[in-house]
Chains A and B, each alone.
Chain A
Amino acid sequence: MTNTKTILPTEHCETCPAFTQLEQMGIKVGDFDRVIALAGNPNTGKSTLFNALTGLKQHTGNWPGKTVTRAEGGFEFNKMRYKLVDLPGTYSLLSASQDEEVARDFILFGQPNCTIVVTDATSLERNLNLVLQVMEITEHVVVAINLMDEAKRKGLEVDARSLSRDLGIPAIAITARTGEGIHTLLGAVADVIEGKIITKPLRVGGTPEFQKAVSELVPMIEQMAPGIPNARWLAIRLLDGDARVQKALSTGELGDIVSRQQRQDVQFSGKMSVEGRQ
């Protein structure tokens, strides 16, 4: 895996300050200030966005399931160093196949500073299911509406602002293949992390009795692991009888996450060059 630098083709003019903000760092991810996860349905162009940001050449194939392991790479944006983790494409975070578990475990237990959910502009409805599920886990979410060029060809108009308003999180239209919209996306990610944008993720209800059950469990979880950011989601998963979450709770894994996060020194394995190659 080489680390060749390519200038991103972009519509921004060269005088725009954003033009020089992005520096691809390939797999040199030793020191980083922030961690970003890339989630999304299969075949929405996550790996293409990953390559555009890191300058790496992670293989992108046009079939669902191309990325089964997570790949890691780095880039610098506005003098902050980011580590980017490309997760396997999944339709949901509920089932138990291995690729879905890799994705879910990372968003939940890896505690990225922000998660970008890459969606396909041409089939937004199906993609939103995953967005809603990720929003249940974490508030630090930005939606990237990718494949805008394909949508345009199909005569579709996607209103990012309407989407953003409805979801309560930033939604940015991009075309990862050409680099269009990528700087705006990174700006939104930085704003979410720095608290300049306060997200208000839409929570999907369920029946009143279900809501009541959730609200009974949440304080118990928060009492066991003070400062845990996704107690609500954990409560929902426990009510659903999710074996993985039950195990994480009883082995103390959840408590570890919180203390680890408080120490602010999350460590990840640098498996990129081996596992990323397929």
Chain B
Amino acid sequence: MEANEILAKAESLRNDLSTGFRDEIVKSLYTEAENIAKRAVKGATDKKYDFDQKVDRLVTSPYAGLPIMLGLLGIIIWLTVSGANVASNAIAFVLFGIGDWGRALFNQIGMPWWITGFIWDGVYLGLAWVISVMLPPMMIFFPAFTFLEDLGYLPRVAFNLDWMFKKTGAHGKQSLTMAMGFGCNAAGVIATRVIDSPRERLIAILTNNFVPCNGRFPTLIMLATVFVAASFPPALTSFVAAGTVVGVVLIGVAFTFLASWVLSKTVLKGEASAFTLELPPYRRPNVSRILYTSIIDRTIFVLWRAMQTAAPAGAIIWILANIHLGDTNLARAIADWLNPFGLLLGLDGVILLAYIIAIPANEIVVPTMMMVYMGAGMMVNGPSSNSAIFDLLVNGNGWTMLTAVNLMLFALLHNPCATTIMTIYKETKSLKWATLSVVMTLGTAFVVTFFTASIARLLGWV
């Protein structure tokens, strides 16, 4: 018996069947399920169920739904910002202290200067920076996020935002994939598998990067704390910083909608498809599982990945900074060469150099930038406080508020990290879409920062 014969037979049999036979099958499935369930289940719903419904009516109401969502986002980010600040300073103090001690020890036993420099001012410094900048925010953000996830809040977010996605021609479940993107954009891209329609799935994949992941949060938090919030009274700084980060996240969401809309009007034309979304019952989150998932699976996983790129990045910067060219060094020379373009975007050459080195993992942008600014070799103490960072950037390297704002925008909009690009390629099996994801985001970042820089200059703000 040949396969073709069977296919032909099935074809002819199907044509003989009455047109509604599919509906018949589905209907009999449902009837059967209903009858069996009726026989097996006894009892009625009680108060718990009513309570769930009451909560749902509130958190998914057209009026209270969005404010509650923003409130929760604000609380999580405020907890992260205010907690991370203290912890980051403490960790930096200890780690940079160890660095000083190690350097002194190496000097004492007569190590050649380049070994001391390579290890302590290159590799070790890169690691110390990444740990002190990244670990505290993640230790707070991930458990808080996982708590909401285990509680069952995420599907409610999807419910609240569905109408907006529909208007932009995208799928309502895209908000679930965006929520995953907060943790890691690569995870967000994988999560798009829940979207049935290939068109809408591609939109979700291509726009996921507009949600700042945990690798980029520390950059936003640092800039919001050191620059935006610095001019406010100390009692308000954490609120102002958190508000700024929430604002940046909202700008990212706005760009997600904009990009989704543009995509569904151009290369990915089509209407949003309908879908059913189950609102699962609220479940009491299991504390030990939350801690395990958020600390081991997420925090340590992301931190380990960052450390793997931070160590070689630290080494590269140290080498670049110690290859002397006349009275400058290679790192400076590259940064100077990039500088005109950087200034055009309201950034500078060092920032662009840091972004190029940080393509494998966005987490190391700030550490890389700091190391180039400080100039390896001559540095004794890492700036372990906010005022020291402010001093280094503003007085030492000519930063303005525009630089800080544009760096936040750039961090939000620029190309996905190498891991995410690889994931996009694997999920779409297409070089075209992987390339578009880079071109689209990087293009947006260039255009937006150029735009804000030009306006600021025209108005004479900088």
Q: Which residues of A contact B (CB under 8 A)?
A: 1-2, 42-43, 57, 59-65, 68-69, 88, 95-99, 121-122, 124-126, 128-129, 131-133, 150, 153-160, 162-163, 166-167, 177, 202, 204-207, 209-210, 213, 216-217, 220-221, 223-224, 235-236, 238-241, 246, 249-250, 252, 277-278
* A125 partner residues in chain B, CB cutoff 8 A: 33-34, 37-38, 41
CA distance A68 to B173 in the complex (A): 13
* CB-CB nearest 3 A-B residue pairs: A65-B194, A97-B196, A125-B37
Between B5, B17, B44, B173, the greatest number of chain A beta carbons within 10 A of the residue's beta carbon is seen for B17
CA distance A73 to B24 in the complex (A): 39
- Say how far B184's CB is from chain A's closest CB, in angstroms: 9
CA distance A126 to B32 in the complex (A): 11
CA distance A202 to B18 in the complex (A): 24
* A249 partner residues in chain B, CB cutoff 8 A: 3, 6-7
Does A154 lie within 8 Å of B46, measured CB to CB? yes
Chain B residue nearest in CB terms to A163 = B40
> Total A-B pairs in contact (CB under 8 Å)?
191
The answer to whether the Cβ of B430 comes within 8 Å of any Cβ in the partner chain is no
The answer to whether the Cβ of B240 comes within 8 Å of any Cβ in the partner chain is no
The answer to whether the Cβ of B102 comes within 8 Å of any Cβ in the partner chain is no
Does B1 lie within 8 Å of A57, measured CB to CB? no
CA distance A241 to B292 in the complex (A): 45
Q: A61-B149, A238-B7, A240-B25 are in contact. List 14 more A-B contacts (CB 8 A).
A: A63-B149, A64-B155, A65-B176, A131-B33, A132-B33, A154-B46, A163-B39, A204-B32, A206-B21, A210-B17, A224-B1, A238-B6, A240-B14, A250-B3
Chain B contact-residue range equals: 35 or more
- Say how far A169's CB is from chain B's closest CB, in angstroms: 12
Does A217 lie within 8 Å of B29, measured CB to CB? no
* A88 partner residues in chain B, CB cutoff 8 A: 193
Indicate which residue in A43, A155, A216, A217 contacts B43 across the interface (CB closer than 8 Å). Answer: A155
- Do A224 and B296 contact each other (CB < 8 Å), given the known contacts A99-B194, A132-B32, A217-B9? no
Chain A residue nearest in CB terms to B186 = A278
CA distance A252 to B39 in the complex (A): 43
Interface residue ranges of B12-33 to A (CB < 8 Å): 13-14, 16-18, 21-22, 24-25, 28-30, 32-33
* A64 partner residues in chain B, CB cutoff 8 A: 155, 194, 277-278, 280
The answer to whether the Cβ of B187 comes within 8 Å of any Cβ in the partner chain is yes
Does A223 lie within 8 Å of B1, measured CB to CB? yes
- Say how far B147's CB is from chain A's closest CB, in angstroms: 10
* B248 partner residues in chain A, CB cutoff 8 A: none
Indicate which residue in A95, A150, A162, A246 contacts B7 across the interface (CB closer than 8 Å). Answer: A246
- Say how far A187's CB is from chain B's closest CB, in angstroms: 21
* A155 partner residues in chain B, CB cutoff 8 A: 43-46
Between B24, B150, B193, B195, the greatest number of chain A beta carbons within 10 A of the residue's beta carbon is seen for B193
* B38 partner residues in chain A, CB cutoff 8 A: 125
* B2 partner residues in chain A, CB cutoff 8 A: 224
- Do A156 and B41 contact each other (CB < 8 Å), given the known contacts A63-B149, A224-B2, A250-B4? yes
Does A210 lie within 8 Å of B21, measured CB to CB? yes
* A240 partner residues in chain B, CB cutoff 8 A: 14, 22, 25
CA distance A238 to B154 in the complex (A): 38
* B152 partner residues in chain A, CB cutoff 8 A: 62-63
CA distance A267 to B289 in the complex (A): 32
Does B25 lie within 8 Å of A204, measured CB to CB? yes
The answer to whether the Cβ of B235 comes within 8 Å of any Cβ in the partner chain is no
The answer to whether the Cβ of B304 comes within 8 Å of any Cβ in the partner chain is no
The answer to whether the Cβ of B283 comes within 8 Å of any Cβ in the partner chain is yes
CA distance A252 to B45 in the complex (A): 51
The answer to whether the Cβ of B151 comes within 8 Å of any Cβ in the partner chain is yes
* A166 partner residues in chain B, CB cutoff 8 A: 35-36, 39-40
The answer to whether the Cβ of B190 comes within 8 Å of any Cβ in the partner chain is yes
CA distance A65 to B175 in the complex (A): 12
The answer to whether the Cβ of B82 comes within 8 Å of any Cβ in the partner chain is no
Does A204 lie within 8 Å of B29, measured CB to CB? yes
CA distance A65 to B146 in the complex (A): 15
Indicate which residue in B25, B45, B301 contacts A154 across the interface (CB closer than 8 Å). Answer: B45
CA distance A236 to B13 in the complex (A): 11
CA distance A204 to B9 in the complex (A): 23
Indicate which residue in A68, A207, A235 contacts B191 across the interface (CB closer than 8 Å). Answer: A68
Does B40 lie within 8 Å of A63, measured CB to CB? no
CA distance A228 to B363 in the complex (A): 52
Does B10 lie within 8 Å of A162, measured CB to CB? no
Does B48 lie within 8 Å of A68, measured CB to CB? no
Indicate which residue in A69, A154, A221 contacts B6 across the interface (CB closer than 8 Å). Answer: A221
- Say how far B32's CB is from chain A's closest CB, in angstroms: 5
* B293 partner residues in chain A, CB cutoff 8 A: 57, 59
Question: 12 A-B contacts, Cβ less than 8 Å apart?
Answer: A60-B289, A69-B193, A97-B196, A99-B194, A124-B37, A128-B32, A156-B44, A166-B36, A209-B16, A238-B7, A240-B22, A249-B6
CA distance A159 to B40 in the complex (A): 5
Between B38, B146, B196, B286, the greatest number of chain A beta carbons within 10 A of the residue's beta carbon is seen for B196
Does B1 lie within 8 Å of A239, measured CB to CB? no
- Do A124 and B41 contact each other (CB < 8 Å), given the known contacts A65-B173, A278-B190? yes
Chain A residue nearest in CB terms to B52 = A154
The answer to whether the Cβ of B297 comes within 8 Å of any Cβ in the partner chain is yes
Does A62 lie within 8 Å of B39, measured CB to CB? no
* B277 partner residues in chain A, CB cutoff 8 A: 64
- Say how far A113's CB is from chain B's closest CB, in angstroms: 25
CA distance A61 to B173 in the complex (A): 15
CA distance A141 to B296 in the complex (A): 35
Does A158 lie within 8 Å of B41, measured CB to CB? yes
CA distance A122 to B278 in the complex (A): 14
Does A63 lie within 8 Å of B280, measured CB to CB? yes
Between A150, A167, A239, A241, the greatest number of chain B beta carbons within 10 A of the residue's beta carbon is seen for A239
Does A277 lie within 8 Å of B5, measured CB to CB? no
CA distance A174 to B24 in the complex (A): 33
- Say how far B156's CB is from chain A's closest CB, in angstroms: 9
- Do A239 and B14 contact each other (CB < 8 Å), given the known contacts A125-B37, A210-B21? yes
Does A206 lie within 8 Å of B28, measured CB to CB? yes
| B267-306 Cβ-contact flags toward A at 8 Å (1 or 0) | 0000000000110111101100100110011000100000
CA distance A278 to B30 in the complex (A): 34
Does A239 lie within 8 Å of B5, measured CB to CB? no
Does A122 lie within 8 Å of B281, measured CB to CB? yes
Indicate which residue in B146, B149, B190, B296 contacts A68 across the interface (CB closer than 8 Å). Answer: B190
The answer to whether the Cβ of B432 comes within 8 Å of any Cβ in the partner chain is no
- Say how far A192's CB is from chain B's closest CB, in angstroms: 19
Does B301 lie within 8 Å of A277, measured CB to CB? yes
Chain A residue nearest in CB terms to B193 = A68
| B41-68 Cβ-contact flags toward A at 8 Å (1 or 0) | 1111110110000000000000000000
